Structure 1
Amino acid sequence: MDNWFKSKWFVRAVSLAFAVLLFVFVNVEINDSENENRFFGTSKEMQTIENVPVDIRIDENFVVSGVPEHVRVSLEGAKSILTPAIKQRNFDIFVDLRGLDEGEHKVEIKYANISDDLKVYIEPKTVDVVIEERSSKEFNVNVDFINNLPEGYELGKTEVNPKTVKITSSKSVIDQIAIVKVFVDIGGQKESIDNREVPINVYDSQGNELNVTLNPENVEVSAEVNNPSKTVPVSVATTGKLPDGYSLTSISPETKEVKVYGTSSVLEGIEKATTEEIDLSEITEPGTIDVDFALPDGVQVPDKKSIKVNLELEQTKTIKDVPIDVENLEDGQKVTFLKPDNSMMDVTASGKAEDVDKLTAEDITLTVNADGLNEGEHEASVTIDGPDGAKLTSEFEQITIEIT
């Protein structure tokens, strides 16, 4: 036996055997541990939560800058512990600045209410901050109305409640404040705004928004939205001339007045509502036509896009060769026409176009009364008869005849 221990090959063989046994033992332990973890749900995992808010704990006489609003938090541990922590998120991420003086500091972002069985990784882990003395000041709140009201509408009286806001921050930030305002969207607004709540915005002279503490954070804005109007007469516009033989006796809108809407400044210059021009050269008969309004920009007649206009025309027409009848000749008498030199003459008819347009020579009677006339030349008056509604004028009021 002693000779075996003295043999280097024996020692080597024994060492190798121990090494193999140790390797097998370790692997078995690891596998058993993993199987046990899987069985009991204790396998380790890591999950990351983005945009976790950071709480600031600081003495009330100070304010701080440089603390990020959000950080990234990663949690690692057994799934059975990790999953509830991720879902509930009842942990705190914060910086504790209590007890620190004014000035620059590098501080650690800490956590609380997280199980000791979980590993916590915060990014960033530390931040550089500046602690300053707290300062407060009151500022007037301005209103900025954005976008446009509908055409014809305008803003009236506006009111902000409250008119001022108390702003708290460091003195250096307070000194940077250039304007405090709220934005009110009035795009398409037709009704007055009644106590609309809007957030307050704070800017420096370069238009950069400042992160400050506001009291209150919102204000209520009321604003009158008006649609001014006035009643004006309707005026009918025309262009061109009527065709030959026609004259315009009447042109009148059926609606005499309308209510026009627009801003106060625009309505000041409006004395009438004018229609688009009617082209008289295209008018050959009386009647009623629809005509649109031709209003200046910014003026509207919401309930009427057009109106009816009545047109009355007078037509003048010459009817040629109307026969002349001679009445009450005695037996045996014969008439010769000297002026005109035949038994016909022209007649001019004037009146409403609908009465005159269809007149013909058959509708008109020209007569001369020869009662009591002896032989010889005579001046005789001509009598004209025709339909009612037309004014008839003969070519000659007196004619010359010879009776034989």
Structure 2
Amino acid sequence: MGWTSSRRRIVAAVAATGVAGTLALVGYRVLAPAEVSTPARGDYPALSRPEPKVVGRLPVAPLIVDGRLRVYAAERQVYADQPADGRHRSTPYWSYRRWPATLDAVVASGTTVVSRWSDGDLVALDARTGRVAWRAQGPEPDGKRSARRTGSEVVWQPQGLSVIRTAEGREAVVSSGAGEVRAVDLADGGQLWRAEVGRGCREPVGGSTSGQLLSLDRCAGPTVVEFRDAATGVVAARWRPPEAGEELTANLIGCVPTGCAGLRTAGPGDGAARGWLLGSGEPVAAAALDGAEVELLDGTAVTLAEGVVVGRAVRDGTERWRTPVGPGRLIAVQPGRVHLVTEENELVTLEPTTGRQMSRFVLNVGADGTGWVPGRAYAVDGYLAVERLRPSVDLEADDHGYYFTAEPLILAAT
């Protein structure tokens, strides 16, 4: 009797150990850090050049890469579909997923897509195949990124991650956070430099077309704009606008994927924002860029007032052209194109050096109608994507009350 009871206890203990081991293995497989890369199986899509029109609507914000793919951001995934002018989001052309890290930012240059994750890792993907091109360690982001369901903040307004073309023509991926800035070579991920900076008192602004990383430094005394060489990490200058107050905000204008040509500064609540041209030395005042609604493109300052778009030479303010379009909003620019949306939600595209109208059509798709207001916009490679928001939108509303439809992104070829 005793032997039987002992044997039962031994069998039960062995069984319990086996169950615990199985559960541990399952838990490890589910919870352990992992990545899943699903490369492209089809051919790289051909470059399409659709005529100016609305080409489709999407549930999430696209990053147009090489004029051929659309790249999207999810909480733990970056993925692509094709073609760039597809009417709807389609089955992923390739996908890259990590766990448990979350996606913080995505940038692209040429056929390289670089993703930044919550643990600071940088993962570069070859857009043509979806395969990992290189990995590098960067600083962890300053806090968890808050993004709505379209993910436009991650792909259109990446914070702390930039691709900057240096003065020598090399492209550097610069990441900032956790009291540190690092730069790696876009070509292979090799580290170019690393610098420790003040934690919690520095705000990366972005890169200039002259190969510098701009940051706002509030670590000691009044806010200054710091210019750091993207190739070496050396601080080239620290600058404050004349007569600036203690606090300062700064936004880049006249941007292409690898740098921006201008800067706009203002104090808290200051409606009189000042515009500056960026170069190898200190920023140069450009009165034609003053004001929050001025865009910079191809050496021209573009404004919309009382239904008329005016282009002025950015250095001396001389008027170059004026084009009546009606009341609306100057929404985005890209090389060779100025985009405006009228009160009737017509998209008007002008040529920036002459003001000639290139295209004009209503931003409507299916039976959606035009009863929406524009949100964030993004323009590249001849395409324009716009978030459609509910009229009189409440900025604090949840996504259902914020966006116009379940597929709020409208995509147009211009």
Same fold (TM over 0.5): no
Structure number with the higher helix fraction is: 1
Structure number with the higher strand fraction is: 1
Shorter-chain TM-score range = under 0.3
TM score, norm. by length of structure 2: 0.16
TM score, norm. by length of structure 1: 0.16
Greater Rg by CA:
1
Q: Which has the higher contact order (CA 8 A, sep 6+)?
A: 2
